């Protein structure tokens, strides 16, 4: 009897898992960026009609499993998501190689690839073109705000411990509301840099919400960061992103 009950329970759980998995579909897609071709990890909805969308930008490690997981998590919330491969097929878990990959990415090419990603999503029949946001972590966080500077139709921008602009000309270009999550112990993006960005944004009448987490450093949201992962801060940051995108894209 216990075995039968266990099998029934397992069957119910499995069915629930399948039902959840059927909410979205995933695939690798290619789209043009100037005269070149870029690939990305696309998560689409199984329901018909137009949906809000999110561009997902990877850390300096490249388009890896953790970034794909974030794209799927946003997809499960009802968004069409596109995780862009800025490294054109390369990724690594070695910090030295990641440093070289990030240094070898021309910023203008990265921005062009992201603008092309926006155009690709906006052209899709299943995407609401006026409701496309962007999110990034680490290097991707910096590119998230760069895209907001260079694509005025971005509807919402999230920066997770990414480099921030303070130049008035760059701030003036940002039309989207911005949400930021940062660590108080981050030596690369210190609190004073975050505060200067917030002051510059508010001084120009922009919408910004930045939170600095105590006892958190760089990459505190990624569990692969064995010594720096802060699960409670990561959970809170995720909740903030979910609420922010819901308020601005749905």
In angstroms, rounded to a whole number, what is the distance separating the alpha carbons of residues 180 and 141? Answer: 9
The answer to whether residue 214 is domain-embedded is: yes
Domain of residue 186, CATH code? 3.40.50.1820
In angstroms, rounded to a whole number, what is the distance separating the alpha carbons of residues 51 and 75? Answer: 10
pLDDT of residue 19: 35
pTM of structure: 0.91
Q: Is 78 left (phi over 0), alpha (psi -120 to 50) or beta?
A: left
The answer to whether residue 18 is domain-embedded is: no
Q: Is 88 left (phi over 0), alpha (psi -120 to 50) or beta?
A: left
The answer to whether residue 15 is domain-embedded is: no
The model's pLDDT over 136-175, given as tens digits with 9 standing for 90+, comes to 999 999 999 999 999 999 999 999 999 999 999 999 999 9
Range of the domain at 120: 23-249
The answer to whether residue 72 is domain-embedded is: yes
- On the 0-12 / 13-18 / 19+ scale of CB atoms within 10 A, 122 is middle
pLDDT of residue 27: 97
Give the number of domains in the chain.
1
The model's pLDDT over 67-95, given as tens digits with 9 standing for 90+, comes to 999 999 999 999 999 999 999 999 999 99
The answer to whether residue 11 is domain-embedded is: no
The answer to whether residue 2 is domain-embedded is: no
The answer to whether residue 8 is domain-embedded is: no
The answer to whether residue 4 is domain-embedded is: no
């Amino acid at each position: 009897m216990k075995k039968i009950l266990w099998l029934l329970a397992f069957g119910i759980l499995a069915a629930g898992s399948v039902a959840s998995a059927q909410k979205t579909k995933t695939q690798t897609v290619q789209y043009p960026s100037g005269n070149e071709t870029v690939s990305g990890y696309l998560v689409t909805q199984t329901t018909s009609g137009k949906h809000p969308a999110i561009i997902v930008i990877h850390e300096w490690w490249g388009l890896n499993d953790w970034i794909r997981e974030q794209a799927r998590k946003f997809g499960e919330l009802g968004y069409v998501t596109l995780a862009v491969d800025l490294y054109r097929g390369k990724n690594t878990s070695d910090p030295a190689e990641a440093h070289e990959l990030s240094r070898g990415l021309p910023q203008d090419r990265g921005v062009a690839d992201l603008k092309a990603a926006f155009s690709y999503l906006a052209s899709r029949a299943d995407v609401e073109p006026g409701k496309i946001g962007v999110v990034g972590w680490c290097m991707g966080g910096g590119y998230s705000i760069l895209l907001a500077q260079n694509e005025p139709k971005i509807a919402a921008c999230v920066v997770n411990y990414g480099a921030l602009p303070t130049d008035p000309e760059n701030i003036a270009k940002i039309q989207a509301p911005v949400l930021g999550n940062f660590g108080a112990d981050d030596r690369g993006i210190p609190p004073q840099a975050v505060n200067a960005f917030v002051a510059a944004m508010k001084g120009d009448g922009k919408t910004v919400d930045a939170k600095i987490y105590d006892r958190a450093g760089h990459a505190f949201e990624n569990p692969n960061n064995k010594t720096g992962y802060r699960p409670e801060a990561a959970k809170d940051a995720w909740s903030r992103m979910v609420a922010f995108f819901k308020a601005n894209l749905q």
